[in-house]
Structure 1
Amino acid sequence: MEPLLEKELELAAQRKGITKSQFIIDAVERALGRKDPYQLFLKVKAESAQDPDAQRLAQAFVAEPGVPYDTEAARAALIAKLKAKHGISLD
């Protein structure tokens, strides 16, 4: 293998936190269609639909419909709080 290509392989494996061998195995599985990310996503989604704990967790994180987050008001409140904390005034 070319030294530059091997170094790229090594760095890519480090970024993923796996060994070079495991990186190559994952790439080959993906190329052969054994590890299709979309199929894995669908499998996990189907399994989580059957899991009562996942359903309760999903219900806990459902956002309130129709109540958008007011970014400008939150920004103004944060700036006012920081100015008060650090004693900064625009006078």
Structure 2
Amino acid sequence: MNPLLEKELELAAQRKGVTKSQFIIDAVERALGRKNPYELMLQAKAEMAEDPRSGELARAFAAEHDKPYDTERSRADLIARLKAKHGLRAD
């Protein structure tokens, strides 16, 4: 294997928290159609529907979407905190 490709493989496996071998097995299964992401999603949804706590979890997480996330205000707050931390003026 090309050394650069092997290093990229190693880094990708580390990011996913798996071994290089498991990363390769996963890629081969997907390439052969054994691990279709859409089918995995459907399977996960079916398993969740069978879980007696699924309704409770859905209600708990649904409340998070009631208020839109104010990215501009958060961005301004983050910039102000970074400037204060690093002793810069908060223009």
User: Cα 1:69–1:36, aligned 2, differ >3 Å: closer, same or farther?
Assistant: closer
Matches within 5 A, 1:45-64: 45-63=45-63
Moved over 4 A (4+): 67-71
User: What's the CA shift for 1:22?
Assistant: 0.6
Larger Rg: 1
Which residue does 2:25 correspond to in 1? 25
Cα distance change of structure 1 residues 26 and 69 upon mapping to structure 2, 3 Å threshold? closer
1:39 and 2:56 matched: no
CA distance in structure 2 between the aligned counterparts of 1:12 and 1:3, rounded to whole angstroms: 14
Q: 1:10·1:20 contact (CA, 8 Å) conserved in 2?
A: yes
Mapped to 2, the partners of 1:20 and 1:47 lie a distance apart of 29
Deviation at 1:69, TM superposition (A): 4.8
| Structure 1 residue 70, shift from structure 2 partner | 8.7
Question: Matched residues in 2 for 1:10 and 1:38: separation?
Answer: 26
How far apart in 1 are the matches of 2:26 and 2:20? Answer: 10
Number of aligned residue pairs: give it.
75
User: Quick one: distance in 2 between partners of 1:68 and 1:3?
Assistant: 48
Distance 2:17 2:8 in 1: 14
* Paired-residue identity, %: 69
**TM-score calculated relative to the size of structure 1:** 0.65
> Over aligned residues, Cα RMSD in angstroms?
3.0
